[in-house]
Structures are given as structure tokens and as C-alpha cells.
């Protein structure tokens, strides 16, 4: 109280120079320094190659795409989408249970840390490696794809879900408890409605991601369109077939990206509400 503007300016000028470096500033500086420091170690082959010439010769083999294999490609894509759908559903169910154990505001510490460690371990393994393991166990088929993507997705979804539970608006849960609701009731009617839209957004994102992943895991034999990619890449003069498969994947992924983003945006807007603009 009673502070004039010049007092405030005076206070600001007396602040130590390092007070400007908050967590954001410091981490950005560390990142920038490390990236620049890494530059000298990135080397090419050292030979004087005609990069642009190589690229244009390679890409010219992609055109025109071979439309005669469209039917085969579409059925491969359908299998890819089916793998993604089933694995995402399984992952959502598993992640919901596991995420409760990974949420600080829900689980006790002795459950929390082992669960988080497990999720970290799952995330460390890339989807292609999961696919390899699954192919070794169940053979080269789409079941291997489902197993691989389910395990891979759980690592991410369970983390997202638990973060959502931790950051969700807890006030409604608190209000219901004070009105006499039990812990399960307060979760179901207070916390869950606030977390549910965000959780569904994450699920949609995971589905998109899994369709992209499902396109590539066939490369190691786990079903879907990836197997077609592998065949065309390994046989000579099939780059025009390869390009058709890529084109089809591009179309599906673009449609998915677009609709997924639209739905997520609508959900976010509905949850944030329009009560600021209404009287």
C-alpha cells in the first residue's frame, strides 16, 4: 500500500540479474547450448556425393504410382486400422486400471512408484521392438500387432490418464465429499466428469498414433500394411507400388488427423465453457 510507480520501478531495478532466469529460461538455455554443442559431431559420409541428384533419381522411380494394386493395398490398410482399433480399446481398459495406481492423489506411495517404474520401462521400448517380441511369441500375424501396440500404448495412455487425474479440477470432488458422498461417489460424480473429456481426447490421439504405428509394425511381420511396404521396398523396380501404399497411408492419416483434431478441439471448448462470454 502507498507504493508509487517509481518505488516499483526502483524495486525492479534492484532485483538481482539472475532473477530473470526462471526454470523455463534456464532449461531453454541448456537445450540450446547442448544442441549447438552437438553440431560438430554430426558427420556425413565425407565423400563428395551428388545429394540432389541421388534424391531426384530415387524419387522419380516413385512416379507414377501403380494403381493396379489399389484393392490389395486397401485391404491391407483395413487390417491396419482394425489392429489399431482393437489395440487402442485394450490399451484404454488396461490403462484406466493402471493409471489409478500411478496417480499421486489416488494411490498410496507403495503402489505409485512401482507402477510408474513399470510404465517408464514400457515406454522405453519402441513399438517396433514390441512387435518383434510379439512376432517371436505368437507368430507373424495381426494378433502380434495387437499385442505389440496394446503394450506400447499402455505405457503412454496410463501416464496421460494419471496426469489427467492429478491435474483435474478437484473442487467438485471436494464439494461432494463435504455433502456426505463417499470416496467412490466423489470420484465418480466429482472428479471423473471433469477428467473424462480430457481422457477421451487422449484416447483419440492414441488411436491416431496407433494407426500410424500399425502401418509400420508390419515391416517386422506383425500384420497390416507394413508388410506390403517391406515387400515392395525389397523387390526391384517396385517403388511405384511402394509410393501408392504411402499415398494411401497419407490419405488415411490426414483424414484421421483432421477429424481427431476437430473432435478434440470441440471437446476442449465444451469443457472450458462459454460462461465468460455470456451475461
Partner 1 sequence: MSRPSTLLEARNIGLRLDERWLFRNLSFSIPTGAFISLTGPSGVGKTSLLRILYGELSPTEGELSSPLEKPSSQAMIFQDLQLAEGAATLTNVLSGSLGRHSSVKTFFGFPQIEKKQGLALLLQFGLERKSSQWASTLSRGERQRLAICRSLLSRPTLLFADEPVASLDSEWADKTLCTLHDSQIKTGGSIVCSLHDELQVQQFSNYILRLNPSDPSAWTWEEPNPIF
Q: How many CA atoms lie within 13 A of 95 on its CB side?
A: 31
Q: How many CA atoms lie within 13 A of 137 on its CB side?
A: 13
- Which of 171, 235, 254, 259: binder of partner 1 (CB under 8 A)? 171
Positions 243 through 272 that interact with partner 1 (CB under 8 A): 270-272
The CA-based dihedral angle spanning residues 132, 127, 153, 255, taken in that order and rounded to the nearest 10 degrees: -120
Neighbouring C-beta atoms of residue 34, cutoff 10 Å = 9
- Between CA 102 and CA 96 the distance in angstroms is 10
- Which of 127, 194, 201, 243: binder of partner 1 (CB under 8 A)? 194
- Determine the interface stretch with partner 1 among 38-46, 88-96, 116-124, 195-203 (rule: CB under 8 A): 195-203
Residue/partner pairs of 58-63 with CB below 8 Å, 24 or more apart: 58/239, 61/237, 61/239, 61/240, 62/239, 62/240, 62/242, 62/243, 63/240, 63/243
* Count of residues engaged in binding partner 1, rule: CB under 8 A: 31
User: Quick check: 188 binds partner 1 (CB under 8 A)?
Assistant: yes
- Between CA 214 and CA 150 the distance in angstroms is 11
Least distance (Å) from partner 1 to the CB of residue 180?
2
Least distance (Å) from partner 1 to the CB of residue 89?
22
Q: Which is nearer to partner 1, 257 or 272 (CB)?
A: 272
Least distance (Å) from partner 1 to the CB of residue 52?
53
Least distance (Å) from partner 1 to the CB of residue 153?
23
- Which residues contact partner 1 (rule: CB under 8 A)? 169, 171-172, 174-182, 184-186, 188-190, 193-197, 270-275, 278-279
Amino acid at each position: 500500500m502507498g507504493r508509487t510507480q517509481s518505488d516499483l520501478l526502483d524495486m525492479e531495478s534492484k532485483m538481482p540479474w539472475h532473477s530473470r532466469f526462471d526454470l523455463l529460461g534456464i532449461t531453454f538455455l541448456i537445450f540450446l547450448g547442448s544442441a549447438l554443442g552437438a553440431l560438430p559431431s554430426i558427420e556425413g559420409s565425407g565423400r563428395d556425393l551428388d545429394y540432389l541428384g541421388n534424391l531426384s533419381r530415387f524419387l522419380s522411380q516413385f512416379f507414377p504410382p501403380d494403381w493396379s494394386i489399389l484393392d490389395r493395398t486397401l485391404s491391407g490398410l483395413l487390417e491396419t486400422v482394425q489392429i489399431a482399433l482393437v489395440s487402442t480399446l485394450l490399451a484404454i481398459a488396461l490403462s484406466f486400471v493402471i493409471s489409478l495406481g500411478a496417480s499421486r492423489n489416488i494411490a498410496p506411495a507403495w503402489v505409485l512408484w512401482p507402477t510408474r517404474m513399470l510404465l517408464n520401462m514400457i515406454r522405453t521400448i519402441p513399438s517396433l521392438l514390441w512387435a518383434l517380441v510379439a512376432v517371436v511369441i505368437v507368430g507373424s500375424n495381426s494378433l502380434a500387432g495387437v499385442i505389440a501396440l496394446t503394450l506400447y500404448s499402455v505405457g503412454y495412455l496410463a501416464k496421460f490418464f494419471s496426469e489427467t487425474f492429478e491435474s483435474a479440477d478437484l473442487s467438485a470432488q471436494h464439494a461432494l465429499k463435504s455433502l456426505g458422498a463417499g470416496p467412490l461417489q466423489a470420484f465418480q460424480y466429482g472428479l471423473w466428469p471433469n477428467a473424462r473429456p480430457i481422457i477421451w481426447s487422449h484416447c483419440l490421439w492414441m488411436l491416431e498414433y496407433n494407426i500410424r504405428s500399425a502401418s509400420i509394425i508390419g515391416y517386422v511381420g506383425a500384420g497390416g500394411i507394413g508388410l506390403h511396404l517391406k515387400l515392395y521396398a525389397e523387390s526391384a523396380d517396385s517403388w511405384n507400388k511402394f509410393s501408392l501404399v504411402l499415398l494411401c497411408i497419407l490419405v488415411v492419416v490426414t483424414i484421421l488427423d483432421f477429424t481427431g483434431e476437430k473432435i478434440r478441439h470441440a471437446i476442449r471448448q465444451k469443457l472450458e465453457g462459454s460462461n465468460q462470454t455470456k451475461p
